[in-house]
Structure formats: C-alpha cells, structure tokens
Chain A
C-alpha cells in the first residue's frame, strides 16, 4: 500500500478543486440536493406523498433517494473519466492506474457524506428522528464506493477507446434513476414491476440507506445481502477486466 498517500492526495485535490472553483464553495454540495429535492417534492408530494407506509415521511424519503443517486451518478462519472483525464500522468510516470479510479470513487463518497447534513435537517424538520442505526450508513457508503469503483474500472478503458461510450453511459444512468424508487414508493407498482425494480441493485442500497438513516424504509435481509454481494462482485469483475484491457488501453492514451 505504497500508494495510500497518493490516494489521499488525489481525493484531497478533487475536493479542493471542486470547492475552490465555486463562489460558495462547499455550499453547493449542501444546497444542490436540497434545491433538487425541493423541486421534486413540490411536484410529487401530492401524488406519491400519501402512498408511503404509515410513519414514513416523503421529504426525507425523496432526498435520501436523490443523494444516493447523485453519489452513484457522480461516482460512476468521476471513476470512468479518471483514466482518460489523467492520461498526462499515466503516460509519463508509472503509477498503478487503478489508484485514480479508486480515488474518484472515494471523492464521490466524501461528497455524499457531506450532503448527509442537509438530509438530517430535512428529516428532523419533517418530524423524524435519526435512528440508532445511523453508523450503518457508512456500510452503505462503503458498498456504494466499491460498486462505483468497480463500474468505473470496467468503463474507464472503454472511455479511452471509444468516444461515444460516454453518451451511452449517460443514457444508462438516466434509466437507472427511473428504475430506482427515488421519488415513488415501490408499493404503487404492479407485482411484475416490483420484481424488476428489486432486481436493480440500487434499490437495495437505497432501502438500506433510508432505513439506517432515519428508519424511513423496511429493508429485508435479502436487500442487505444483495447490496453486499453486488458491491464486491462489481469491484472484483472491474478489477479483472481492467487488468486485462490495460495493456492495450495504455497504448491508446
């Protein structure tokens, strides 16, 4: 783990650059999900708000979904771009290229962690209390980091080789948003649709996250298992694919 300090520096750099460039700095990470959530809340609270299980609140339900989806989106982008955007370095100095992808995923995790603060505020305002299982959010975050790093490892070599891979990934990420119960309760869907939505790993992450944060969902054991399994499988497959395709990819940087 000679490269641990480098990972720390890379994450640090990603975060400082992100916050240095904007006028209100870190405020964006706090404000952005709040504004998005507010808009969606205005639109959907009347249609979906009343359909939640007794005791659950729509505002934190929605915002938790948006935050986790942002984490997934941003992490996938950053991790997938990490190789092509660091080609300058990778063609000159030997650094294990995976370092950049993993750092990108960790950066997204930290952004996500920061944005938990406004979520806590929204949860408290809507009359919920943060649950004792709050520390378990870290497990969700860790799993999501692995998932995103794995996807990034798979896609980053594609991003170097094919210009239009980005467009396709953009569309897929949008589809992922709609087949995850971000702004609707699963219960309003038909049985078949529910099965489909539950096959989406992100659903499990989201259920566990909502429950762990403010007891705003009821994840099953299967959700936990699915989350843990998909994160590890994604990372393992990503690492293998990356290792295999790297020799050809680096020659194209």
Chain B
C-alpha cells in the first residue's frame, strides 16, 4: 500500500532578476517594461511512491533538489504541477526545533512544537517530563530556553520530534545530534522508528547509512530523477559517478 505517492511533480521558483523585491522596483520595471523574474525549475517531472515500511533515500549533489522534494512531501511547498499524496501523520525531521523560542520554557516549547506537528496536546502534556528526561534536560524544563546550551536545545528538539510514532517520517540529515553518547542513543531511536513500519524518506550524504537503512534510493540530478531502484545499486552508481 502506497503511503506516499508523488506523480509528475514540477516545482518552479520565481527568481527576481534584480536586487531585492520592492514595490518601487515593481513599479519602475512595469513602466520600463522590463522582465523582472525568471522561472527556475527546481524539480522536473518527479514520480515515485513509497509503501508502508519502506525506506527510500534521496541522493544527489547540493542543489539537486533534495530538500525541495522533502519540503513538497512535508506539504510545506505546494507543487507547481502534478500531485502529491501522503496518507497519515507526518513527522517532518527537517531542521529540528522550528518554532522554538528562547524566552519560553523548555516545557512550553515542547508543547508548542508538538502543536505545530498537529499532535494531541493532552497526551503531549503527560509526556513532557518523559521527553525532557530522554533529552537529559529534565532539571531545566521550567527554565527559559535561552538558558539551555545549543546541544541541549538540539537534544530536546530531537526528543520531542521523535516522541510519537508517525506514519510518514521525513528525515533530513538528523541522524547526528549532540555528543557521542546522545548520538548513539538517537541513532538507536531513529532505527526503531524506521523499523517500526513507517514509510520513511531520508536525505543523506552518508552513503554507509543509506546502504544500511534504505531499501530503495532515488538519485536526483538538476531536479530530475537520474536513477531510481534498489538502494545498493543506486548508491554504487552514484559513487562511481
């Protein structure tokens, strides 16, 4: 059963040719009939699907469109053309800690972050202590986030994001957070989540991790699919390139 289905997706960014966007320039360019934007196609005709329990890795150089694709899957960017269907709840592990505010306490931030991910706040409220404890910051939870070290913030974000099992997991290089101890711990948890039957899409430059985790892989180049298939085959071809 396909949990994620992407068909014929294009994504076009509009890039301003001149400087920055201002109404003054818009007006001036309109009078002079100057063309002010060009369309930049970040993704061209992408189609694939991910089944339940499958782990799909997205490979490619910087600027190949990996993060853009992940954002489309997360529902953050609407595709210019084509459709994206995702069934079930999504855990977007893309740059963790979005919406964390330095003046709010650890517990408040956990609650807010969870609300952003559309979770049931009653359950989160009961889990807050456990989340803090897992992150190793339980004695800080009632202090403002600005008193946390950056490692503590990252750990709290990871702990919150991975606290609930989602149907779809979107992972953008978050397998390494915090110190060595915590990295081990978080890696273990990631593996648990991945192996628990969620549909996973992960972006990584770490080829050994991809070989280890992914069942299939998609190789993106300049916004289109260069190769799609069994993870080991795609990784071999990518590394030979």
A binds B: yes
User: B90 an interface residue at 8 Å Cβ cutoff?
Assistant: yes
Of the residues A20, A92, A247, contact of B74 by C-beta under 8 Å:
A92
- How far does the alpha carbon of A142 sit from the alpha carbon of B134 in the complex, in Å? 43
One of A13, A94, A164, A165 near B90 (C-beta < 8 A): A94
A193 located at the interface, meaning its Cβ lies under 8 Å from any Cβ of chain B in the complex: no
Q: Are A162 and B26 in contact (CB under 8 A)?
A: yes
* B residues neighboring A (CB under 8 Å): 11, 13-14, 20-24, 26, 71, 74-78, 80, 90, 92, 94-95, 98-99, 101, 103-104, 108, 111-112, 115-118, 121
Instruction: Indicate which residue in A17, A89, A165, A248 contacts B116 across the interface (CB closer than 8 Å).
Output: A89
Q: Which of A3, A17, A163, A252 contacts B101 (CB 8 A)?
A: A17
- Within 8 Å of chain B (Cβ to Cβ): is A42? no
Contact (Cβ within 8 A) A92 B103: no
Q: Is the CB of A91 within 8 A of B71?
A: yes
Whether, in the assembled complex, A23 has its beta carbon less than 8 Å from a beta carbon of chain B, the answer is: no
Kindly identify which residue among B22, B80, B94 contacts A247, using a CB–CB cutoff of 8 Å.
B80
Q: A17-B103, A250-B76 are in contact. Are A163 and B71 (CB under 8 A)?
A: no
How long is the Cα–Cα vector from A252 to B21 in the complex, in angstroms?
10
| Contact yes or no, B78 A9, CB < 8 A | no
* Top-7 shortest CB links A-B: A94-B75, A92-B98, A164-B22, A6-B115, A89-B99, A247-B78, A162-B23
Could you tell me if A21 and B103 are in contact, using CB atoms closer than 8 angstroms?
yes
- Which residues of chain A have C-beta atoms less than 8 A from B14's C-beta? 248, 251-252
Complexed CA–CA distance, A95 and B99 (Å): 12
Total number of A-B contacts with CB less than 8 angstroms?
Answer: 77
Using CB atoms, name the residue of chain A closest to B117: A93
A51 within 8 A of B: no
Chain A residues with CB under 8 Å of chain B are: 2-3, 5-6, 9, 13, 16-17, 20-21, 86, 88-95, 161-165, 168, 246-248, 250-252
Assembly CA distance A16 to B108 (angstroms)? 11
Min C-beta distance of A165 to chain B, whole Å:
6
Distance from A84 Cβ to chain B, minimum over Cβ atoms (Å) = 12
CB neighbours (8 Å) of A250 from chain B are 76-78
**Across-interface contacts of A95 in B (CB, < 8 A):** 116, 118
B residues less than 8 Å from A161 (CB atoms): 21
Is B76's CB under 8 angstroms from A93's CB?
Answer: yes
CB pairs A–B below 8 angstroms (14 shown)? A5-B121, A9-B111, A9-B121, A13-B101, A13-B112, A92-B94, A93-B76, A93-B99, A94-B75, A168-B23, A246-B78, A250-B77, A251-B14, A251-B77
A164 and B78 in contact (CB under 8 A), knowing A20-B103, A88-B98, A251-B14?
no
- Whether B92 contacts A9 by the Cβ 8 Å rule is no
Interface centre among A9, A93, A162 (most CB of B within 10 A): A93
Provide the residues of chain A in CB contact with B104, threshold 8 Å.
Answer: 13, 16-17
CB pair B76 A164 closer than 8 Å = no
* Sample of 13 further A-B pairs with CB below 8 A, known A94-B74, A250-B76, A251-B13: A2-B118, A9-B112, A13-B104, A13-B108, A20-B103, A88-B98, A92-B74, A92-B94, A93-B94, A161-B21, A250-B77, A250-B78, A251-B14
Q: Which of B23, B26, B99 has a CB less than 8 Å from the CB of A88?
A: B99
B13 contacts A94, C-beta separation under 8 Å = no
* B20 contacts A89, C-beta separation under 8 Å: no
Instruction: Pick the contact of B76: A13, A20, A91, A165 (CB < 8 A).
Output: A91
A9–B95 alpha-carbon span in the complex (Å): 22
A163 near B118: Cβ-Cβ < 8 Å: no
Measured between C-beta atoms, what is the minimum distance from B173 to chain A in Å? 14
Q: How far is the CB of A56 from chain B (nearest CB, A)?
A: 42
A11 vs chain B, min Cβ distance (A) = 12
CB pair A93–B98 under 8 Å, yes or no, is yes
Which chain B residues border A2 with CB–CB below 8 Å? 118
Which residue of chain A has its CB nearest to the CB of B104? A13
Residues from chain A with a CB closer than 8 A to the CB of B75 are 94
